[in-house]
Structure 1
Amino acid sequence: MSNAVANGLAGAGGGIIAQIITYPLQTVNTRQQTERVAKKGLGGADKKALPAQTRPAAGTLLQILQVLKTEGWGGLYSGLKPSLFGTAASQGVYYYFYQVFKNRAEAIAAARKKKGRGDGTVGMFSWLVVAAIAGSLNVLLTIPIWVLVTRMQTHTQAERKIMEGKKEALLAEALERGWEESTLHDKLTELESVKPRPYGTLQAAQEVHREAGVAGFWKGIVPTLIMVCNPSIQFMIYETSLKHLRAKHSASKRGLKNVNALEVFLLGALAKLGATVSTYPLLVVKSRLQAKQEIGGNVSLRYTGTFDAIIKMIRYEGVQAFYKGMSTKIVQSVFAASVLFMIKEELVKAYMLLADKGQKVMLDLSKRSLTKI
Structure 2
Amino acid sequence: MSSAIANGLAGAGGGIIAQTITYPLQTVNTRQQTERIAKKGLPNCPAAAPSSTLRQILEVIKTEGWGGLYSGLKPSLVGTAASQGIYYYFYQLFKNKAEAFAVAREARGRGDGSVGMFSWLIVAALAGSLNVLLTNPIWVLVTRMQTHTQAERKIMEGKREALVKEALESSTGSTLQDKLAELDLIKPRPYGTFPAAREVYNETGVAGFWKGIIPTLIMVCNPSIQFMIYEGSLKHLRSKRAANKHGLKNVSALEVFLLGALAKLGATVSTYPLLVVKSRLQAKQEIGRNISLRYSGTLDAIIKMIHYEGLPGFYKGMSTKIVQSVFAASILFMVKEELVKAYMALAVKSQKVLER
TM-score above 0.5: yes
Q: Which amino acid aligns with 1:322?
A: F
What residue number does 2:56 align with? 63
* 1:152 and 2:145 are equivalent in the alignment: yes
What TM-score do you get using the length of structure 1 for normalisation? 0.94
Stretch moving more, 187-196 or 331-340: 187-196
Matches of residues 293-372 of structure 1 in structure 2 within 5 Å?
293-364=285-356
Aligned-partner Cα distance in 2 for 1:198–1:326: 24
What residue number does 1:86 align with? 79
Q: Which amino acid aligns with 1:149?
A: V
Matches of residues 1-373 of structure 1 in structure 2 within 5 Å?
1-42=1-42, 47-48=43-44, 50-53=45-48, 55=49, 57-179=50-172, 181-194=173-186, 196=188, 199-364=191-356
Q: Which amino acid aligns with 1:269?
A: A
**Identity of paired residues, percent?**
80
Aligned-partner Cα distance in 1 for 2:128–2:204: 25
Aligned-partner Cα distance in 2 for 1:175–1:212: 37
Stretch moving more, 288-297 or 118-127: 288-297
Q: How far 1:195 moved relative to its partner?
A: 5.0
Q: Deviations over 1:202-254 (max 9, x none)?
A: 00000000000000000000000000000000000000100000011111122
What TM-score do you get using the length of structure 2 for normalisation? 0.98
Instruction: Please give the secondary structure, in 2, of the residue aligned with 1:90.
Output: helix
Q: How far 1:197 moved relative to its partner?
A: 7.0
Bigger radius of gyration, 1 or 2? 1
Q: Which amino acid aligns with 1:354?
A: L
Q: How far 1:167 moved relative to its partner?
A: 0.1
Aligned-partner Cα distance in 2 for 1:288–1:194: 25
Q: How far 1:175 moved relative to its partner?
A: 0.4
Q: Which amino acid aligns with 1:251?
A: A
> Is the 2:149–2:189 Cα contact (8 Å) retained in structure 1?
no
Q: Which amino acid aligns with 1:130?
A: V
Moved beyond 3 Å, runs of 4+: 194-198
RMSD of equivalent CA atoms: 1.0
Aligned-partner Cα distance in 2 for 1:231–1:196: 35
For structure 1, which runs of at least 5 residues remain unmatched after alignment?
Answer: 365-373
Q: Which amino acid aligns with 2:256?
A: V
For structure 2, which runs of at least 5 residues remain unmatched after alignment?
Answer: none
Aligned residues: 356
Aligned-partner Cα distance in 2 for 1:240–1:232: 12
Aligned-partner Cα distance in 1 for 2:170–2:3: 72
Q: Deviations over 1:120-161 (max 9, x none)?
A: 000000000000000000000000000000000000100000
